């Protein structure tokens, strides 16, 4: 399913993941950059990704994590198989951020 939506270059949403007994899902928009938002009850909850100058060097489906995001959410997304760390490091504002890709 993910590959089909990437092919037609549209916005798509994932299935649900749980964090702190609350159901969330991801909204992904592909374009020049991969933009990922966390949704709660079908409304924007928080940005998972952040666009920085180094984002132009990332592969498709790869993005930098918003460094202000609760690290527990990132861990849960990794544990549930939604994202995978790709270990590229950059600076967003004055905080370090790592790159991840959609799985």
Give the tens place of pLDDT for each residue, 30-79: 989 999 999 999 999 999 999 999 999 999 899 999 999 999 999 999 99
Q: List, in sequence order, every beta strand (DSSP E) within the chain.
A: 12-19, 22-30, 34-40, 43-47, 49-50, 62-65, 83-92, 95-102
Report the C-alpha gap between 66 and 5 in whole angstroms: 24
Q: How many domains does the chain have?
A: 1
pTM of the model: 0.87
Q: Which domain holds residue 50?
A: 2-102
Report the C-alpha gap between 63 and 69 in whole angstroms: 14
In 3D space, the residue among 9, 3, 8 whose CA is nearest the CA of residue 33 turns out to be: 9
- Which residues contact residue 73 at a Cβ distance below 8 angstroms, ignoring those fewer than 6 apart? 19, 24, 38, 46, 48
Q: What is the average pLDDT score of the chain?
A: 91
């Amino acid at each position: 399913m993910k590959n089909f939506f990437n092919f037609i270059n549209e916005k798509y949403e994932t299935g649900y993941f749980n964090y702190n007994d609350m159901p969330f899902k991801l909204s992904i928009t592909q374009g020049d950059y991969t933009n990922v938002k966390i949704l709660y009850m079908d409304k924007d909850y928080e940005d998972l990704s952040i666009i920085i100058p180094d984002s132009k060097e990332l592969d498709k489906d790869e993005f930098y994590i918003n460094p202000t995001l609760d690290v527990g959410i990132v861990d849960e997304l990794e544990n549930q198989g939604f994202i995978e760390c790709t270990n590229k490091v950059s600076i967003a504002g004055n905080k370090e951020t790592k790159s991840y890709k959609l799985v």
